[in-house]
Chain A
Amino acid sequence: MARLRVVLLLIMSLFSSSLLALSEFHLELKDHLFYPSSVTIPAGQKVKLIIHNLDDTPEEFDSFSLNREKVVFAQSTTHIYIGPLKPGEYEFYGRYNPNTARGKVVVVKDQGANHAD
């Protein structure tokens, strides 16, 4: 019986680790500008970045340093996964409006990283 409990606990721990929800961070696109323009995330963790496009035109979220490119259709929401990353700053921009739509992901070591400027 004790063995069975151990096996069950092991299986449960495996499932719980795979079902652990990733931290979510939100970005908004309005008038071809990113809000917030800086997102702070924890180092060494994979996170989900949810992008809401409030404009009537599509935009492409692009970042060379993050190796990401994703089209966000007009008036819609999409998501990408970023990380695990080393501490530092990773710039991103809107490929369709690169002069205005700019921002950065700031990766920090401490755990209280779920804030945005």
Chain B
Amino acid sequence: MLINTVILFMHYALPIFILLGFLFVQVKLSLHLQFLAVLVGLITALGFISQVDSLGAWLDGAGLEWIFFSLHLLLYSGVLLLAYGLLSRTNTGKWLEPMRLAVLLVVVMIVTKGSNFLLYFNGYLNQVNALQSLLVGTFVGLGICLSIAILLYFSMEWLGRHFGRIAPLTALLVFVAGQLANASNLLVQVDVLPTTSVLWNSQWWLDDESEYGHLCNVLFGYVARPTALHMSVFIISILCPLVIQVWRLKRVKPVQRGVQQ
């Protein structure tokens, strides 16, 4: 149970820590705000799992899939708004303030990923001798996730120093696009979206179940057998905002030139 708890904690908590690593590079969240975001996220996740049984029965048993997909969509939209707020030189308004958006993103990510781990923790807490394994496993998993997040933070800071703010923001976009592509599969399993063909099988190169496979899945939604839908969601989610940004820059430059003349 100890090793399984470590693996489960990493599976569910690593995306939260990765997001925190990305956000700290972009937005300097104070300790007070970090604590507030995690606390609100945990309370919301606890409230969510207390109702999860009835929520899961919604829409002919597809309730949780719809909720988790919507939360991933909210996460993706939040990152786009954050990028817009950070790159825009004009005042973006109170609700597009990067600090507020960062807190919202952390809360949504904790509810999306943390609720699954809380469900496991809650379900197995009453088993004989489980508490010690659950707690030790959680702390070991916490240490691993924290180490990866710190490593990511310094990597992104280096990337930002050498290639400008757009580089870590693009990495963040790839991360949430991968999460959204993974979530699209939830709607396939409840028959909302159609099953599409598998494009390739790279299991021989990087196994889904391996540690690196798992890390790549969290970082950019790697799956060994991606479907056409998975890849479409991933590519469109990355390309759309990048194309809009390039178009915006092209539109702004002639206007600025006109003003200077």
Contacts and interface: CB of A to CB of B under 8 A. Distances in A.
A57 B8 contact: no
Contact of B189 (A60, A80, A99): A80
B106 to A, nearest CB: 23
A82 B188 CA distance: 9
Given A58-B119, A64-B208, A95-B8, A73 B56 contact: yes
A71 B56 contact: yes
- Taking residues whose C-beta sits less than 8 angstroms from the other chain, chain B's interface range is 20 to 34
A67 B208 CA distance: 10
Contacts, number: 60
> Does more than half of chain A's interface fall in helix, strand or loop, or is it mixed?
loop
Given A68-B189, A70-B189, A96-B124, A78 B119 contact: no
A36 interface: no
Given A46-B195, A65-B225, A98-B4, A78 B56 contact: yes
Contacts of A80: 189-190
Contacts of A67: 185, 188-189, 223, 225, 227, 230
Given A73-B56, A83-B195, 6 more contacts: A64-B208, A67-B223, A71-B119, A80-B189, A81-B188, A82-B189
Interface of A: 46, 57-58, 60, 64-65, 67-71, 73-74, 76, 78-84, 95-99
